[in-house]
């Protein structure tokens, strides 16, 4: 990392008070933003804390012992999260991803999962409930998460080499414990399991083939994520990005690959399979192959701020409505107005050179706060 970043402007409090429509029209699940993108995927951050200090997300120099994490009272309660989720589902959300920080650090998370598992779409279907974790406590929690109604899980793992992994998580955490968590998640049936590796050129790109060899021949889908200019603290530089095309080329040189169709509209990963049929990999290329055109994701922060893009710098204070004297119809109406006005497409603008990564960087929201 180039040099110590300036202290964070306390972004957590920069959120607009949502406008509540005078007349509330019941949601019909067909909400579209200004680019015609539906609202289908809600990412809910349940904590801003983490036991890792990955430099691309929570560099230790900034998120040190003095860093003031959110007080418990400002976090949305499970009841508030479930109420908000129910209103988003009425607007068309079909998938809920629990994130953080590290979501498994939030006590009794299985209670929230059970509440979300009771929700049904307007058509009466179950939701797809998933979670992204660093795997550090997964071995202990997997069974309870499954029993509560979690469908599947994504584990972040940036290296298979123990020394490199410990350096990247900057908490001296052993890779073996994460692999044990993945094995336990497999055993209890939390699949399909995905493993996400953030690739930083010059830091862990020499692990790409080692990771591919480790997960090839298993049902686990390994995805390689381009290092992104999220937030304002990771000192992002373009020369530390290894384009996904090079990741694919490196793997294909040893294991021939062929492209696969997307599973669904809005999927972030481009899918590939080993030609010998021994598994699938993916690449998530926000920097070199932006996918904003069908981005159907909204993000709810730990304290109830609604963000419409991972690179947003302003949220919408849903907590004020959830804790205020507003009906479900009024809050649903406010969510509708917010999404309908959405025009976010940061990665496309960055690719077009219309959004300089450094511009406004000090105001961009941090990934540990709204989840990846
Ligand atoms: S940059 Fe924003 S709009 Fe584009 S895909 Fe990412 S979250 Fe969606």
Question: Relative to the CA of 291, which ligand 1 atom is closest?
Answer: 5
Ligand 1 midpoint to CA 347 (Å): 6
Q: Helix, strand or coil for residue 334?
A: helix
Ligand 1 midpoint to CA 179 (Å): 30
3 falls within a domain: no
Output the residue whose Cα is nearest ligand 1's atom 4: 292
Question: Relative to the CA of 348, which ligand 1 atom is closest?
Answer: 4
DSSP string, 81-92: HHHHHHHHHHTT
Model confidence over 286-296: pLDDT tens digits? Answer: 999 999 999 99
Start-to-end Cα distance in the chain: 20
Query: Which burial class, exposed, middle or buried, applies to 277 when counting CB atoms under 10 A from its CB (0-12, 13-18, 19+)?
Result: exposed
Which position has the token pair 């294909």?
252
Pocket test for ligand 1, best of 310, 349, 354, 365 (most atoms within 8 A of CB): 310
Ligand 1 midpoint to CA 34 (Å): 14
What CA–CA distance (Å, rounded) separates 336 from 32? Answer: 9
123 falls within a domain: yes
Residue 205, token pair as written in the block: 């790109």
Lowest mean pLDDT among 27-41, 83-97, 124-138, 313-327: 27-41
Query: How distant is the alpha carbon of residue 162 from its chain centre?
Result: 24
Instruction: Please indicate whether residue 113 or residue 313 has the higher confidence score (pLDDT).
Output: 113
2 falls within a domain: no
145 falls within a domain: yes
Vertex 193: Cα angle to 346 and 291 (nearest 5): 20
Instruction: Give yes or no for a contact between 100 and 51, defined as CB atoms under 8 angstroms apart.
Output: no
12 falls within a domain: yes
What CA–CA distance (Å, rounded) separates 130 from 300? Answer: 15
Output the residue whose Cα is nearest ligand 1's atom 2: 309
Vertex 153: Cα angle to 149 and 158 (nearest 5): 160
Helix/strand/coil (H/E/C) assignment for every residue in 212-249? HHHHCCCCCEEEEEECCCCCCCCCCCHHHECCHHHHHH
Pocket of ligand 1 (CB under 6 A): 286, 291-292, 295, 297, 309-311, 344-347
Query: Residue 363: its pLDDT value, please?
Result: 73
20 falls within a domain: yes
What CA–CA distance (Å, rounded) separates 196 from 228? Answer: 14
How many distinct structural domains can be found in the chain? 1
Ligand 1 midpoint to CA 345 (Å): 5
Instruction: Give yes or no for a contact between 40 and 93, defined as CB atoms under 8 angstroms apart.
Output: yes
Pocket test for ligand 1, best of 285, 306, 309 (most atoms within 8 A of CB): 309
Q: 342: domain range?
A: 8-370
Instruction: Give yes or no for a contact between 92 and 29, defined as CB atoms under 8 angstroms apart.
Output: yes
Output the residue whose Cα is nearest ligand 1's atom 5: 292
pLDDT band at 13 (very low <50, low <70, confident <90, very high): low
What CATH number has the domain bearing residue 206?
3.20.20.70
1 falls within a domain: no
Note the pTM of the prediction, 2 decimals.
Answer: 0.94
Model confidence over 149-203: pLDDT tens digits? Answer: 999 999 999 999 999 999 999 999 999 999 999 999 999 999 899 999 999 999 9
Residue 344, token pair as written in the block: 């976010």
What CA–CA distance (Å, rounded) separates 48 from 62? Answer: 14
Is the bond into 165 cis (omega within 30 degrees of 0)? no
Pocket test for ligand 1, best of 306, 341, 346 (most atoms within 8 A of CB): 346
Query: Residue 358: its pLDDT value, please?
Result: 53
Output the residue whose Cα is nearest ligand 1's atom 7: 309
156 falls within a domain: yes
**Does position 7 have pLDDT exceeding 70, yes or no?**
no
Query: Residue 362: its pLDDT value, please?
Result: 56
Q: Which of 72, 60, 54 is nearest to 5 (CA)?
A: 60
């Amino acid at each position: 990392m180039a040099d110590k970043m300036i202290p964070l402007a306390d972004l957590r409090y920069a959120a607009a008070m949502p406008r509540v429509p005078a007349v509330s029209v019941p949601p019909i699940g067909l909400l579209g933003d200004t680019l015609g993108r539906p609202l289908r995927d809600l990412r809910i951050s349940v904590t801003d804390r983490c036991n890792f200090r990955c430099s691309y997300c929570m560099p230790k120099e900034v998120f040190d012992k003095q860093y003031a994490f959110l007080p418990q009272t400002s976090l949305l309660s499970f009841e508030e999260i479930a109420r908000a989720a129910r209103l988003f589902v009425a607007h068309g959300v079909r998938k809920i991803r629990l994130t953080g920080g590290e979501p498994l650090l939030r006590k009794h998370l299985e209670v929230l999962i059970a509440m979300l598992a009771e929700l049904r779409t307007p058509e009466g279907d179950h939701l797809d409930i998933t979670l992204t974790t660093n795997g550090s406590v997964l071995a202990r929690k997997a069974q309870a998460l499954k029993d509560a109604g979690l469908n599947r899980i994504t584990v972040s793992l940036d290296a298979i080499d123990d020394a490199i992994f410990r350096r990247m998580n900057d908490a001296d955490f052993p890779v073996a414990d994460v692999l044990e968590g993945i094995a336990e998640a497999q055993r209890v049936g939390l699949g399909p399991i995905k493993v996400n590796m953030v690739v930083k050129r010059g830091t862990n790109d020499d692990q790409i083939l080692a990771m591919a060899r480790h997960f090839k021949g298993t049902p686990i889908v390994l995805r390689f994520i381009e290092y992104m200019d999220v937030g304002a603290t990771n000192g992002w530089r373009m020369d530390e990005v290894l384009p996904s095309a090079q990741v694919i080329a490196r793997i294909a040189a040893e294991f021939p690959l062929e492209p696969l169709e997307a599973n669904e509209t809005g999927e972030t990963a481009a899918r590939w399979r080993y030609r010998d049929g021994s598994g699938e990999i993916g690449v998530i290329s926000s920097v070199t192959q932006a996918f904003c055109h069908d981005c159907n994701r909204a993000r709810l922060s730990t304290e109830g701020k609604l963000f419409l893009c991972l690179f947003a710098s302003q949220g919408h204070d849903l907590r004020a409505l959830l804790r205020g004297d507003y009906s479900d119809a009024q809050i649903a109406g406010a969510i509708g107005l917010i999404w309908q006005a959405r025009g976010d497409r940061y990665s496309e603008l960055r690719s077009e050179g219309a959004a300089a990564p450094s511009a406004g960087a000090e105001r961009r929201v941090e990934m540990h706060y709204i989840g990846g």
